[in-house]
């Protein structure tokens, strides 16, 4: 059914291609999920979850490894982990914005549920610390590469799609840390990791749905997804700009929004690695925390670009110049999600008790009373660090008020006048603005080893003189690493094989075609009997 949601606008070629790509990748994930349950069925002799739970501890270690790896690949494909994420930047831009909000906010999160259920419930949660390390590493790589490729995007919906990869990675960092602590016999820290990962799952569902609805509002008003054609929209669409800003602050993990709370919990869980008696993990988890910090900084830069280029300065496109605020029902949807971003940020005591019940079912320990202190107004992690979200919000308001008061007292007597921006004697135009391309250029150069860009420069010279250029053409293209070195070669191999097979088997006799179909059916029946 999700395929039909993606290809809603099926009359477009790029939408049909994205739908086919999505269908192929999700079928690959489904195949591995089926393999997971078939192996569990062979051991439990039943498809009941209760039978899986009771017989999971009897699995041989190698067979448990097969189950875990199949679940990681299957559910990871559904969630969009690196390198199985390639369908996300195609499917999300192709789908309508409300469908993108549903897919990113809800549908890919079911894969997180499936992975947690298989590891902690069916395999017992004490299977091996190697599984937790694998999830942690995959999550770290997904978070970092997701935000790095998001920074290079000028298509607002492709940018948000890559941020789904990033946030799935952040969720898996919390879950992976919980798996490691569970394997080493630290149930309280394992519970904290699970709670942090699940909290970020909820938070991401809220602020990513808000951002996709915001991108849909921009598309509705400007008829384009290209941020280079936006600009000056805050004056024309103030409510959309406000709601998009709240979503941007939330996904950047800035206080006092919900993204800050869950990422802070994941940070604290990773810092508590010193309690594990393993030097490798004592090094690995703090490195993961450092990568999470880098990811947060890049996410902040990305949404400074997305909001600034889209809503500030002058309009760069004709549609942006004549854009109007979206209808009230669209604003109500965004407003409700923006309010939830603030409520889940200021009131973690509303969500953590419910998440604690889930984690307690997996690790057997309740930690809500130790995490929520001061009657729920503060968060504390294993007597290691504390933060009060309401107190932090009050402090930010007080500091802002003090700053405003100082500005009024010191500058209130100065005469001021409103005038247009000084442009060195020239009239200011949109061509003078800082573009999305220019904003991303320093980061593009800094991480050029990862991006491996292709630069193409062509010059057309004047006929009168070969020293003066008439026209220059510059193209700076980035092909994602895994698409260039993994998927494209595999696709080319299958295309060559299919062409050869077609050339050898193409005939004009119907009975021979029916013979091929019958032979293929026999092979399938014999392989699954």
**CA atoms of 187 and 181, how far apart (whole Å):** 7
127 confidence band (pLDDT: 50, 70, 90) = low
pLDDT at 455: 77
* Residue found under tokens 């062979």: 42
- Band (pLDDT 50/70/90 cuts) for residue 257 is very high
pLDDT at 128: 66
Give the Cα separation of 229 and 32 in Å (integer).
42
Q: Which residues contact 330 (CB under 8 A, 6 or more apart)?
A: 213, 216, 217, 220
pLDDT of residue 222: 94
Q: Which helix (H) or strand (E) holds 385?
A: strand 385-387
Residue 425 has pLDDT above 80, yes or no: no
Residue closest to 219 by CA, chosen among 205, 201, 237: 237
Domain range annotation of the chain:
2-207+255-305+351-394, 444-478, 481-528
| Average of per-residue pLDDT across 385-397 | 90
b/e burial code for range 79-98 (CB count within 10 A of at least 16 → b): bbbbbbbbbbbbbbbbbebb
Window from 241-255, 256-270, 463-477, 513-527 with minimum mean pLDDT: 463-477
Lowest mean pLDDT among 4-18, 302-316, 487-501: 487-501
CA 422 to chain centroid: 40
28: nearest Cα among 109, 81, 84: 84
Q: Which of 13-27, 74-88, 446-460 has the lowest mean pLDDT?
A: 446-460
In this structure, what DSSP letter does residue 275 have? G
Lowest mean pLDDT among 3-12, 218-227, 323-332, 345-354: 3-12
The answer to whether the peptide bond before residue 256 is cis (omega within 30 degrees of 0) is yes
Q: Please determine, for residue 164, whether its predicted confidence score (pLDDT) is greater than 70.
A: yes
3-state SS of 98-164 is: HHHHHHHHHHCHHHHHHHHHHHHHHCCCCCCHHHHHHHHHHHHHHHHHHHHHHHCCCEHHHHHHHHH
pLDDT over 80 at 363, yes or no: yes
Is residue 478 within 8 Å of 453, Cβ to Cβ?
Answer: yes
For residue 173, name the pLDDT band (cuts at 50, 70, 90).
very high
CA distance 78 to 168: 11
Tokens of 226: 């290209």
3-state SS class at 254: coil
Whether the pLDDT of residue 262 is over 70: the answer is: yes
Q: Identify which has the larger pLDDT, 1 or 95.
A: 95
d(CA 459, CA 168): 43
CA dist 79 and 110 (Å) reads 8
100 and 157 in contact (C-beta within 8 Å)? yes
For residue 45, what pLDDT is reported? 84
Average pLDDT over residues 215-231: 93
Contact criterion met (CB below 8 Å) for 209 and 101: yes
Mean pLDDT for 418-433 is 78
Query: What pLDDT, in 10s, does the model give residues 483-507?
Result: 888 888 888 888 888 788 777 666 5
Least confident among 25-39, 294-308, 495-509: 495-509
pLDDT higher than 80, residue 446: yes
Say how many Å lie between the first and final Cα of the chain, rounded.
Answer: 29
> What mean pLDDT is reported for the chain?
88
| Tokens representing residue 390 in the block | 């309401």
SS (H, E, C) 428-473: CCHHHCCCHHHHHHHHHHHCHHHHCCEEEEEEEECCCCCCCEEEEE
Residue 413 has pLDDT above 70, yes or no: no
| Closest among 31, 29, 5 to 19, alpha carbons compared | 5
The pLDDT assigned to 125 comes to 66
Q: Which of 80, 92, 82, 101 is nearest to 26 (CA)?
A: 80
Q: Which of 64-78, 282-296, 324-338, 514-528 has the lowest mean pLDDT?
A: 514-528
User: 134-148, 182-196, 497-511: lowest mean pLDDT where?
Assistant: 497-511
Q: What is the dihedral of CA 13, 15, 19, 20, to 10 degrees?
A: 20
**pLDDT band with cut points at 50, 70 and 90 for residue 468:** confident
Here the tokens at position 494 are 């299958």
Angle in degrees, 0-180, between the axes of helices 109-116 and 61-79, rounded to the nearest 10: 170
pLDDT tens track for 227-248: 999 999 999 999 999 999 999 9
Q: What is the mean pLDDT of residues 248-266?
A: 94
Instruction: Supply the pLDDT for residue 101.
Output: 92
Helices (H), 223-322: 233-236, 238-251, 258-271, 279-311, 318-321
Q: Within the chain, what is the greatest distance between any pair of CA atoms?
A: 95
Of the chain, the percentage scoring pLDDT greater than 70 comes to 97
Angle at 126 between CA 125 and CA 129, to 5 degrees: 105
Q: Is 508's pLDDT higher than 70?
A: no
Could you say which DSSP state residue 382 is in? Answer: T
pLDDT > 90 in the chain, percent = 50
Residue 506: per-residue pLDDT: 61
Secondary structure (3-state) at 378: strand
* Measured distance CA(476)–CA(99) in Å, rounded: 31
Measured distance CA(395)–CA(485) in Å, rounded: 49
Least confident of 90-104, 252-266, 450-464: 450-464
pLDDT for 131: 87
Among the listed residues 69, 265, 70, 284, the one whose alpha carbon sits nearest the alpha carbon of residue 171: 265
Pairing of strands 378-381, 454-461: unpaired
The answer to whether 252 and 297 have CB atoms below 8 angstroms apart is no
Mean pLDDT of the region 276-289: 90
Question: Mean pLDDT over residues 106-122, rounded?
Answer: 91
Whether 156 and 302 have beta carbons less than 8 Å apart is answered as no
Which pLDDT score, from 0 to 100, does residue 56 have? 77
């Amino acid at each position: 059914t999700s395929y039909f949601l993606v290809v809603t606008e099926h009359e477009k070629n790029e939408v049909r291609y994205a739908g086919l790509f999505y269908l192929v990748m999700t079928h690959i994930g489904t195949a591995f999920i089926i393999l997971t349950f078939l192996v569990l069925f062979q051991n439990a002799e039943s498809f009941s979850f209760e039978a899986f739970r009771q017989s999971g501890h009897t699995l041989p270690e190698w067979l448990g490894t097969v189950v875990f790896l199949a679940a990681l690949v299957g559910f990871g494909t559904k969630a969009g982990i690196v390198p199985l994420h390639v369908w996300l930047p195609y499917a999300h831009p192709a789908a309508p914005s409300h469908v993108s909000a549903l897919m990113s906010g809800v549908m890919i999160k079911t894969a997180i549920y499936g992975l947690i259920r298989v590891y902690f419930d069916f395999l017992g949660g004490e299977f091996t610390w190697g599984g937790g390390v694998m999830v942690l590493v995959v999550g770290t790589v997904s978070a970092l590469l997701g935000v790095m490729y998001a920074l290079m995007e000028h298509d607002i919906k492709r940018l948000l799609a890559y941020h789904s990869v990033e946030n799935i990675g952040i969720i898996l960092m919390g879950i992976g840390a919980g798996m490691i602590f569970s394997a080493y016999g630290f149930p309280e820290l394992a519970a904290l990791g699970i709670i942090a990962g699940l909290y970020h799952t909820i938070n991401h569902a809220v602020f990513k749905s808000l951002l996709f609805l915001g991108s849909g509002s921009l598309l509705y008003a400007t008829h384009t997804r290209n941020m280079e054609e936006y600009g000056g929209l805050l004056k024309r669409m103030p409510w959309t700009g406000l709601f998009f800003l709240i979503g941007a602050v939330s996904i950047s993990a800035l206080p006092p929004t919900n993204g800050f709370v869950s990422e802070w919990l994941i940070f604290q869980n990773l810092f508590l690695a010193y309690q594990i008696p393993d030097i490798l993990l004592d090094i690995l988890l703090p490195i993961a925390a450092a990568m999470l910090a880098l990811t947060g900084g890049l996410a902040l830069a990305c949404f400074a670009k997305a909001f600034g280029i889209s809503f500030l300065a002058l309009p760069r496109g004709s549609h942006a110049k004549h854009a109007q605020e979206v209808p009230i029902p669209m604003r109500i949807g965004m407003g409700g999600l923006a309010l939830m971003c603030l409520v889940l940020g200021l009131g973690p005591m509303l969500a953590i008790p419910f998440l604690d019940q889930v984690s307690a079912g997996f690790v057997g320990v309740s930690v809500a009373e130790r995490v929520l202190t001061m009657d729920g107004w503060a968060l504390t992690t294993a007597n290691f660090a504390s933060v009060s979200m309401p107190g932090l919000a009050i402090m930010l308001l007080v500091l802002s008020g003090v700053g405003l008061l100082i500005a009024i007292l010191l500058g209130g007597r100065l005469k001021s006048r409103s005038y247009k921006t000084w442009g060195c004697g020239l009239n200011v135009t949109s061509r003078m603005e800082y573009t999305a391309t220019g904003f991303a250029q320093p980061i593009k150069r800094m991480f050029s080893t990862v991006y491996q860009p292709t630069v193409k420069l062509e010059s057309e010279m004047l006929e009168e003189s070969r020293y003066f250029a008439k026209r220059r053409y510059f193209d700076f293209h980035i092909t994602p690493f895994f698409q260039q070195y993994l998927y494209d070669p595999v696709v080319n191999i299958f295309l060559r094989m299919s062409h050869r097979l077609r050339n050898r088997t193409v005939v004009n006799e119907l009975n021979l075609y029916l013979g091929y179909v019958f032979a293929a059916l026999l092979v399938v029946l014999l392989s699954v009997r």
